[in-house]
């Protein structure tokens, strides 16, 4: 009797199983482990059939070469992580006082290291003037401003910032600032900057460029962050280097280096599914976390691509600059696609 070799099992493609299998293969996972992980979706034979189908698809095989490139890139980033951890205190954020701009650029900006610099804006009138009464008098109680409102009722409020844009009288924001109760419901952020520039013009002379660090750049001369105690900015990274000047109040900042990308559970290009609580509990299995606190007059340098989570410990006013005297355009290389 003539015998025939066993034929590969034919499967009617389930897109969910196909995606789960392809993702794990691209990550270099062995088929037996894939079958174990996906046992709830099918038998080992069924999962193996999906594996065989993927590995025989020339489109998938071509895409796997990119996966190999990414694994090499992850290795390079892991080398950076291990080298960083050879420092005496790899989890601390450096602090300097009245640091000259050229020294800052060489030591921190060019090396993509975060730092808190004090003594750069001691002459800003905002440091002594800004409070709810002063701002309400200068801006006007009835002046309409844009804010993120309703954040406490939306789980992913930062990702939903476009639909949380609200126009309110400044008096409503001032009332939130005066409240002793912590709240994350209302917050004026950089995302509201262009809408608020005219309304906030009366207080713009209360601060100025940081000599040697930032330059005159019409349309990019600072972004205000104003909110009550308890406002939270969840883990995300920006597409520029940022210089965050704290005017009043304190903020606690947790930062994660950009080489931790593979561990960051990225969502929507720049956001992360990690909560602060979970990332602190993760220990060595999670991304490396650094912590610092900034207060009035402190300037925090956040390197491009560094993840950060920020909580206002008090009624808080901050000015964010991206207009450094050196190039700071990293956005175009990433956003397409």
What tokens does 287 get?
Answer: 């991304």
So what's the pLDDT on residue 218? 81
Q: At a CB cut-off of 8 Å and minimum separation 6, what does 208 contact?
A: 124
Element (H, E) at 72: helix 58-84
Domain at 92-321, CATH from 2.60.120.650, 1.10.3720.10, 3.40.50.2300, 2.60.40.1240: 2.60.120.650
- With CA atoms as reference, report the closest residue to 168 among 152, 147, 184: 147
- CA angle, corner 8, sides to 6 and 13, nearest 5? 155
Burial classification of residue 246, based on how many CB atoms lie within 10 Å of its CB (0-12 exposed, 13-18 middle, 19 or more buried): buried
Burial classification of residue 26, based on how many CB atoms lie within 10 Å of its CB (0-12 exposed, 13-18 middle, 19 or more buried): middle
So what's the pLDDT on residue 205? 96
- Going by the DSSP 8-state scheme, the letter that residue 141 receives in this structure is T
Sign of CA dihedral 127, 128, 134, 139: negative
Q: At a CB cut-off of 8 Å and minimum separation 6, what does 209 contact?
A: 215, 216, 221, 321, 323
Strand order in the sheet with 266-267: 266-267, 271-272, 232-236, 307-312, 251-256, 290-294
So what's the pLDDT on residue 216? 87
Strand order in the sheet with 165-169: 165-169, 144-149, 186-187
What tokens does 108 get?
Answer: 């921190």
For the chain, the distance separating the N- and C-terminal CA atoms, rounded to the nearest angstrom, is 57
Q: At a CB cut-off of 8 Å and minimum separation 6, what does 86 contact?
A: none
CB 329 within 8 A of CB 239: no
Distance (Å, rounded) from C-alpha 55 to C-alpha 94? 49
Q: Tens place of pLDDT for every residue, the chain, 337 residues?
A: 566 666 655 667 899 999 999 999 998 899 999 999 999 999 999 999 999 999 999 999 998 888 888 889 999 999 999 999 999 898 899 999 999 999 999 999 999 999 999 999 999 999 999 999 999 999 999 999 999 999 999 999 999 999 999 999 999 999 999 999 999 999 999 999 999 999 999 999 999 999 999 998 887 889 999 999 999 999 999 999 999 999 999 999 999 999 999 999 999 889 999 999 999 999 888 999 999 999 999 999 999 999 999 999 999 999 999 999 999 988 766 665 5
pTM of the model: 0.86
Distance (Å, rounded) from C-alpha 92 to C-alpha 82? 16
Residues of the chain with CATH 2.60.120.650: 92-321
Q: At a CB cut-off of 8 Å and minimum separation 6, what does 310 contact?
A: 232, 233, 251, 252, 253, 254
So what's the pLDDT on residue 7? 61
Element (H, E) at 226: strand 223-227
Distance (Å, rounded) from C-alpha 152 to C-alpha 162? 15
Sign of CA dihedral 156, 161, 162, 163: positive
What tokens does 272 get?
Answer: 């992360």
Distance (Å, rounded) from C-alpha 42 to C-alpha 18? 12
- With CA atoms as reference, report the closest residue to 242 among 316, 318, 150: 318
So what's the pLDDT on residue 27? 85
């Amino acid at each position: 009797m003539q015998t025939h070799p066993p034929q590969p099992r034919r499967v009617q493609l389930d897109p969910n199983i196909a995606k789960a299998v392809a993702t794990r293969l691209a990550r270099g996972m062995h088929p037996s482990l894939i079958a174990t992980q996906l046992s709830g979706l099918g038998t080992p034979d069924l999962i193996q059939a999906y594996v065989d189908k993927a590995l025989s698809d020339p489109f998938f095989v071509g895409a796997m070469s990119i996966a190999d490139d990414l694994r090499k890139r992850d290795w390079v980033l892991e080398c950076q992580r291990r080298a960083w951890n050879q420092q005496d205190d790899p989890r601390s954020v450096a602090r300097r006082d009245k640091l000259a701009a050229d020294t800052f650029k060489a030591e921190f900006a060019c090396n993509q290291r975060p730092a808190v610099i004090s003594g750069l804006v001691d002459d800003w009138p905002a440091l002594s003037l800004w409070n709810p009464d002063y701002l309400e008098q200068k801006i006007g109680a009835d002046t309409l401003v844009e804010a993120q409102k309703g954040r406490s009722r939306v789980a992913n409020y930062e990702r939903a910032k476009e639909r949380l844009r609200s126009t309110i009288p400044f008096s409503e924001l001032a009332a939130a600032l005066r409240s002793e109760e912590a709240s994350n419901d209302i917050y004026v952020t950089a995302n509201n900057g262009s809408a608020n520039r005219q309304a906030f013009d009366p207080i713009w002379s209360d601060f100025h460029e940081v000599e040697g660090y930032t330059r005159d750049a019409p349309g990019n001369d600072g972004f205000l962050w104003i909110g009550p105690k308890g406002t939270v900015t969840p883990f995300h990274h920006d597409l520029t280097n940022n210089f965050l000047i704290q005017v009043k109040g304190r903020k606690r900042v947790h930062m994660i280096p950009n080489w931790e990308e593979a561990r960051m559970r990225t969502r929507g290009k720049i956001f992360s599914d990690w909560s602060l609580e979970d990332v602190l509990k993760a220990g060595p299995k999670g991304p490396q976390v650094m912590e610092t606190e900034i207060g009035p007059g402190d300037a925090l340098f956040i390197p491009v691509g560094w993840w950060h989570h920020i909580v206002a410990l008090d009624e808080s006013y901050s000015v964010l600059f991206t207009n450094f005297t050196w190039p700071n355009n990293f956005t175009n290389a990433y956003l397409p696609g």
